[in-house]
């Protein structure tokens, strides 16, 4: 059904959404805010799991390219990245499986308040994420990154919105990264957690390859430009993007859960 529509209405909207999502994702995450509503707008009758599968496959292209851009320019502690990636991968796979068994509705209700805490903490601490501490790869650091990555990975596979912001907060708040290094680390780990979710979506047939590859091509372009923009302007700009994206996520998730706009009307 959806493949027959690929050359008809909505193609330009999906391309624009994918490009902007790739740009935003490369800097701080949150590209799903753009891609998922665009997919639901163009294909309102499609099975939601299929649209989420398309979103994941499209996003992984831009995320992977952005990660390679960061790796060339930013030095990251290898052992921390290995532990973070492995545990995020495991957590995401378990989360995706759990999604087939349990409704994520209770997380949907809680999410705006968790994101609000991240925003208020960042605003209160004016220098938060602007300086980069030397990484020691101590046992404590490895435990922190492993526990954080498996929990956020589980959330990514189970529900998803705001995953990039949570990874960013993990690296900046608990491991002493600045926002630029946090963005680089987030892209690497988020790429692996996306692969785990796709490992469930693809075998179950929840991918339409034509649409996903079309969107991925624009997402990659956005990812290249977004990562270059972040590398050029540094942590101060990435911090501002983080604040904007988390604010947008709060508004979006609060409205999704509590129908604020309908209440005001």
Between 131 and 27, name the one with better pLDDT. 27
pLDDT at 151: 94
pLDDT at 179: 92
pLDDT at 37: 85
| Nearest to 198, CA basis, from 81, 60, 35 | 60
pLDDT tens digits for range 168-202:
999 999 999 999 999 999 999 988 777 777 777 77
pLDDT at 16 over 70: yes
Lowest mean pLDDT among 37-46, 172-181, 229-238: 37-46
As for how many domains the chain has, the answer is: 1
What is the residue range of 211's domain? 3-264
Between 264 and 153, name the one with better pLDDT. 153
> Which residue intervals of the chain are DSSP H helices?
11-27, 32-42, 48-73, 78-99, 105-124, 139-158, 163-169, 179-201, 209-258, 260-264
Percent of the chain with pLDDT over 90: 42
């Amino acid at each position: 059904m959806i493949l027959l529509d690929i050359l008809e209405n909505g193609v330009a909207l999906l391309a624009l959404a994918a490009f902007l999502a790739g740009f935003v994702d490369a800097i701080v995450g949150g590209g799903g805010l753009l891609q998922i509503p665009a997919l639901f707008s163009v294909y309102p009758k499609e099975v939601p799991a299929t649209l989420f599968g398309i979103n994941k496959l499209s996003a992984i292209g831009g995320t992977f390219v952005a990660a390679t851009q960061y790796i060339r320019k930013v030095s990251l502690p290898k052992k921390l990245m290995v532990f973070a990636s492995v545990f995020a991968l495991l957590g995401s796979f378990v989360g995706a499986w759990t999604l087939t068994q349990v409704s994520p509705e209770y997380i949907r209700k809680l999410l705006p308040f968790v994101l609000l805490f991240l925003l208020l903490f960042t605003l209160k601490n004016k220098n938060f994420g602007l300086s980069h501490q030397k990484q020691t790869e101590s046992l404590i650091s490895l435990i922190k990154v492993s526990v954080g990555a498996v929990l956020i990975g589980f959330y990514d596979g189970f529900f998803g919105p705001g995953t990039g912001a949570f990874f960013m907060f993990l690296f900046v708040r608990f491991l002493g990264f600045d926002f630029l290094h946090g963005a680089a680390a987030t892209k690497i780990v988020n790429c692996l957690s996306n692969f785990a979710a796709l490992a469930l979506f693809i075998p179950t047939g929840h991918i339409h390859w034509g649409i996903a590859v079309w969107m991925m091509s624009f997402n990659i372009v956005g990812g290249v430009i977004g990562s270059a923009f972040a590398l050029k302007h540094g942590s101060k700009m990435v911090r501002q993007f983080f604040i904007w994206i988390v604010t947008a996520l709060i508004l979006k998730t609060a409205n999704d859960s509590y129908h604020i706009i309908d209440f005001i009307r």
